[in-house]
Structures are given as structure tokens and as C-alpha cells.
Amino acid sequence: MSARPAKLPPEEVEQRASELEGWTVRDGKLHCELEFPTFAEAFGFMASAAIFAQELDHHPDWSNSYNKVVIDLSSHDVKGISERDFDLAGRMNALAAARSPRA
């Protein structure tokens, strides 16, 4: 296996999160709250994101309540936020944009 990306310094995490639309740093994780028109669209987003997550071998902590999806990303193995979290967040943003969430 290739080496896993390392934990990023907090300053870099804050800077890059501020450049990523819809994401903040909360409790040491990349955090995002999305709202879609319907449950079907919210869960459709999750299903697409789940496939990407599996491909990246990096999985979100997330919750869903009707049309809302709340996501927290972190890299448990490095006890922080790594490049993988930004990769997954970027892919999720592309998926969400394609579905025009309202949040």
C-alpha cells in the first residue's frame, strides 16, 4: 500500500477550508451542511458520494434528515484532516453543485 497522506497543519486546513464553498472546520473536522429540495435528491447525493468515498477508500461521518445532509470529514488514522478529506470534500461539492442544493 502507498503511504497515507499526513495530517495537515491547522493553519493550512483553515486556509483551504475557507476556499472550499460550504465547508468550515468544526471540532477538528471538515464540516458541511447541505439542503436539497427533497429526500430523494438528498439521498441521491449521498448515494453518489458513497461511491466516490468507496473509490477513495475514505468515508464520511454523515447524517440525513429528510432533505438535509450534514457531513463531517476527518482522517482517523492521522487524527486530523488530511489531503484525503479535501479530495472527498471537493468531489462532494461537485456532486452537490450538479444537484443544485439550496444551502
Q: Which is nearer to a second copy, 18 or 39 (CB)?
A: 39
CB closer to a second copy out of 59 and 99: 59
C-alpha angle with apex 93: 82 to 70, nearest 5 degrees? 80
Q: Which helix (H) or strand (E) holds 33?
A: strand 29-35
| Contact set with a second copy (CB under 8 A) | 39-40, 43, 46-47, 50, 53-54, 59-66
By C-beta, is 16 or 92 nearer to a second copy?
A: 92
Q: How far is the CB of 44 from a second copy (least distance, A)?
A: 9
Q: State how far the Cα of 8 lies from the Cα of 82, in Å rounded to an integer.
A: 5
